[in-house]
Homo-oligomer: A and B are copies of this chain.
Amino acid sequence: MSETSMSDRSETILDAAEQRIRLAGYSGFSFREIAADVGVKSSSVHHHFPTKEALAAAVARRYTERFEKVVEKDIKAGTKPIEAWRRAFRQALVQDRRMCLCGILGAASADLPPEVAREAKRFFERGLNSLKQTASLSSRAALRLFATLEGAMLVATSLDDVSAFDEATADLG
């Protein structure tokens, strides 16, 4: 049983859009690129997601849900919350060699359509809240941790060197 009501095609479109946005940001991807990645025409992408805003918002929503589930699962397996968050960020970087989706969206927050900006913001609000509760951190400590993780992804991406992430996030606890 699938967990959502989304079709396989919609999921494939979200996959392609996620990779493109993580590479170039909201204004750096197009319907035609996504369509070509998936193997259809751009009008077919519009059939599944009517506007660019709706598509990007759906990508961000799914990204946030997935991220939280990965962290949650790791914690249930016995990993400490802070280390679980570090591993989730690291996995996203090493697997795809791309920036955090909500990081690259949030960096251009003031230029985004409202629905997309709201979803990017929600990633941070929910992550910070989760860290405060599961790791018993103060608001300040949670903000510091999140900033370091996002910044480590950004620096590693800028330098094109994943080891920069590991160095920047060593001994985070």
Contacts and interface: CB of A to CB of B under 8 A. Distances in A.
Interface residues on A, range: 35 or more
Contact of A103 (B26, B107, B109): B107
Nearest to A105: B158
Number of chain copies forming the complex: 2
Given A107-B107, A108-B28, A151-B149, A140 B168 contact: yes
A144 B154 contact: no
B159 A147 contact: no
A155 interface: yes
Contacts of A108: 23-25, 28, 99, 104
Interface string A73-105: 000000000000000000000000111001111
Interface in A131-173: 139-140, 143-144, 146-152, 154-155, 157-160, 164, 167-170
Interface in A8-67: 23-28
A28 B108 CA distance: 9
Closest 8 CB pairs of A and B: A151-B151, A106-B158, A147-B151, A24-B111, A27-B28, A147-B168, A150-B151, A143-B168
Interface of A: 23-28, 97-99, 102-111, 120-121, 123-125, 139-140, 143-144, 146-152, 154-155, 157-160, 164, 167-170
